[in-house]
């Protein structure tokens, strides 16, 4: 066994972000209001109760529309990447990344979602981003929709529940793909397409009080079907027009363990993982799995579909599987007396063998390797880790240092598992992106203080700060790692 991890020279090392969490400029240069502009930091709500933070009702939307301020509405200001992108991309290039994942703010391109013509300034902004990346030979990975659809599609349509949205999305994606075709070959239609069942507003603009006489679960699954159709249309468009482009599905991958060897708990863990696989199954295999159809039958959920849907899904499956991984949970049939553990916006039973962050997420490096094996064995397709990172409160010292040894430890142990899996488990991995490049706004809590970046941004949870950037210790650690290129000494991870 070699003393080095060896990776292919086209392996993509990078960092990931999303428009609503970094850009700011929420109403500049023609951008329309997005659903993310209606989400605010709620100090009165426990940070572990993400559902409450993201469960927006019509009253909250009306409050947001009336308030032209941006301080309280964290995703309106982000970390002002809109005006700092050259500086940030240069710093990331100096760190040595070879890929950068970012998302397109749909309302920056079509302010109301149903506009006849795109906003030229929005298109130019993203062209400038990819040209800046090209300068440093950094491969873009672009998410078309990452929790920030145009608010108008919620107010004057029924968001993703309304089939008409597919047509608006299609116009948005073809416009963007054509405009960036010379620079972008990796596309992700939706961020964590499975998240719609956990936060239907953030993922699909669904506001429960707008469906007073409906089974809201049916509304969610109907909206999800429309997103599957839209995602298949991205695959169809890219394969038909641009042979060099790849389109990936993207899921929230949590590793789920049985709480113990009680067969009931093993069964529970399998069923919990199937709830996520249902989404990737549809996009990777091209059809609804029987267990999901059975669930709809049992819950009397009836979807409205069109005859071309089945063929469209079957003929336009994903080229790769992108996923986010943060932590693992346990599953138990009987949870009486057991503690809860959170993993991103999923939850489960606390695992006594693992540490837990302030946000209740448990740190499990072995879990990322298990997820790589699980996804490879289920789909036998190339994988792409597009999010992995540690949200933590970082302290800026008076000399503007940030000694985030805990983040170095988290990343070191997870990346060591990833490289071991590539070496030993026969998985095909396109690349690895940490979640966070600079610090940014937390998706689930709208906090700034839940920091993920290699670069600290001087800003607090209430929008106060200089927006100045400072490199953390983890910046230099990742820079060292990436400096090894295709041969990485194994002892690097034991330092």
192 assigned to active site? yes
- Which helix (H) or strand (E) is 429 found in, with range? strand 429-435
Given CA atoms 412, 418, 424, 428 in this order, what sign does their dihedral have? negative
User: What is the closest distance, in whole angstroms, from the C-beta atom of residue 50 to ligand BGP in the complex?
Assistant: 7
Nearer residue to ligand BGP within complex by CB, 35 or 443: 443
Nearer residue to ligand BGP within complex by CB, 351 or 444: 444
User: What is the closest distance, in whole angstroms, from the C-beta atom of residue 2 to ligand BGP in the complex?
Assistant: 34
Nearer residue to ligand BGP within complex by CB, 272 or 444: 444
Name the site residues for ligand BGP (rule: CB under 6 A): 18, 21, 191-192, 252, 324, 344, 387, 391, 435, 442-445, 450
- Output DSSP code: residue 85: H
From residue 391, alpha-carbon distances to 88, 357, 420, 431, 443 in Å are 20, 8, 24, 21, 11
**β-strand partners of 5:** 488
Nearer residue to ligand BGP within complex by CB, 84 or 101: 101
337: left (phi over 0), alpha (psi -120 to 50) or beta: left
Q: How far is CA 137 from the centre of its chain?
A: 23
Nearer residue to ligand BGP within complex by CB, 119 or 444: 444
Q: Which of 139, 387, 424, 491 is catalytic?
A: 387
- Angstrom distance (rounded) from CA 112 to CA 31: 9
- Angstrom distance (rounded) from CA 171 to CA 146: 17
Q: Which of 23, 132, 192, 218 is catalytic?
A: 192
Nearer residue to ligand BGP within complex by CB, 188 or 313: 188
User: What is the closest distance, in whole angstroms, from the C-beta atom of residue 191 to ligand BGP in the complex?
Assistant: 5
Nearer residue to ligand BGP within complex by CB, 252 or 265: 252
From residue 105, alpha-carbon distances to 27, 66, 442 in Å are 12, 21, 17
Q: How far is CA 220 from the centre of its chain?
A: 19
- Angstrom distance (rounded) from CA 107 to CA 111: 4
User: What is the closest distance, in whole angstroms, from the C-beta atom of residue 107 to ligand BGP in the complex?
Assistant: 17
User: What is the closest distance, in whole angstroms, from the C-beta atom of residue 4 to ligand BGP in the complex?
Assistant: 31
Q: Would you mind telling me the total number of residues written for the chain in this entry? A: 495
The alpha-helical segments, DSSP class H, found in 425-472 are none
69 assigned to active site? no
Contacts 24+ apart (CB under 8 A), 337-346: 338/259, 342/48, 343/254, 344/252, 344/254, 344/444, 345/50, 345/51, 345/195, 345/198, 345/199, 345/252, 345/444, 346/198, 346/252, 346/254, 346/276
**Of 454, 376, 366, 374, whose CA–CA distance to 418 is shortest?**
366
Q: What is the largest CA-CA distance in the chain?
A: 64
User: What is the closest distance, in whole angstroms, from the C-beta atom of residue 326 to ligand BGP in the complex?
Assistant: 7
Ramachandran angles phi, psi of 383, nearest 5°? -110, 160
Ramachandran angles phi, psi of 139, nearest 5°? -80, 120
User: What is the closest distance, in whole angstroms, from the C-beta atom of residue 65 to ligand BGP in the complex?
Assistant: 24
In this structure, the strands spanning 346-349 and 340-343 are antiparallel
- Angstrom distance (rounded) from CA 139 to CA 282: 28
Nearer residue to ligand BGP within complex by CB, 435 or 477: 435
User: What is the closest distance, in whole angstroms, from the C-beta atom of residue 322 to ligand BGP in the complex?
Assistant: 10
Record the tokens describing residue 36, joined without a space: 């993310």
**Of 131, 107, 130, 127, whose CA–CA distance to 119 is shortest?**
107
- Name the residues annotated as catalytic: 192, 387
């Amino acid at each position: 066994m070699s003393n080095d991890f060896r990776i292919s020279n086209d392996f993509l090392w990078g960092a990931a972000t999303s428009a609503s969490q970094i850009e700011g400029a929420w109403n500049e240069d023609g951008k329309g209001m997005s659903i993310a502009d209606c989400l605010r930091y709620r100090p009165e709500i426990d940070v572990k109760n993400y559902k409450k933070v993201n469960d927006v009702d019509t009253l909250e939307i009306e409050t947001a529309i009336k308030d032209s301020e941006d301080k309280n509405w964290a995703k309106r200001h982000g970390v002002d990447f809109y005006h700092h992108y050259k500086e940030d991309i240069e710093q990331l290039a100096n760190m040595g990344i070879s890929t950068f994942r970012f998302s397109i703010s749909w309302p920056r391109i079509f302010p109301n979602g149903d506009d006849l013509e795109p906003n030229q300034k929005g298109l130019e902004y993203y062209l400038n981003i990819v040209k800046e990346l090209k300068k440093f030979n950094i491969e873009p990975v672009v998410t078309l929709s990452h929790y920030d659809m145009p608010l108008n599609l919620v107010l004057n349509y029924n968001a993703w529940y309304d089939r008409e949205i597919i047509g608006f999305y299609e116009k948005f994606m073809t416009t963007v793909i054509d405009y960036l075709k010379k620079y972008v070959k990796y596309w992700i239609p939706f961020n964590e397409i499975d998240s719609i069942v956990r936060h239907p507003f953030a993922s699909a603009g669904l506001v429960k009080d707008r469906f007073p006489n409906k089974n809201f679960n049916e509304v969610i699954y109907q909206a999800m079907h429309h997103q599957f159709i839209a995602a298949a249309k991205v695959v169809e468009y890219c394969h038909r027009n641009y042979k060099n482009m790849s389109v990936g599905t993207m899921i929230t991958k949590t590793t789920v363990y049985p709480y113990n060897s009680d067969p009931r708990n093993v069964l529970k863990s399998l069923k919990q993982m199937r709830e996520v696989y249902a989404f990737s199954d549809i996009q990777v295999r091209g059809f609804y799995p029987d267990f999901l159809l059975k669930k709809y039958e049992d819950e009397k959920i009836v979807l409205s579909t069109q005859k071309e849907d089945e063929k469209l899904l079957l003929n336009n499956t994903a080229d790769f599987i992108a996923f986010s991984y943060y932590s693992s949970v346990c599953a138990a049939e009987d949870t009486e007396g057991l503690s809860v553990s959170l993993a991103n916006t999923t939850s489960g039973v606390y695992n006594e063998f693992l540490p837990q962050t302030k946000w209740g997420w448990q740190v499990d490096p072995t879990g990322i390797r298990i997820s790589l094996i699980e996804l490879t064995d289920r789909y036998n397709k190339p994988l792409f880790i597009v999010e992995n990172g540690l949200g933590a409160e970082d302290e800026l010292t008076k000399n503007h240092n940030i000694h985030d040894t805990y983040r170095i430890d988290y990343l070191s142990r997870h990346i060591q598992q990833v490289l071991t899996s590539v070496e030993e488990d026969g998985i095909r991995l396109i690349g690895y992106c940490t979640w966070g490049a600079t610090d940014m706004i937390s998706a689930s809590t709208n906090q700034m203080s839940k920091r993920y970046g290699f670069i600290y941004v001087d800003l607090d949870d209430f929008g106060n700060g200089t927006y100045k950037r400072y490199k953390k210790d983890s910046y230099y650690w990742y820079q060292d790692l990436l400096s090894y290129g295709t041969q990485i000494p194994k002892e690097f991870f034991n330092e």
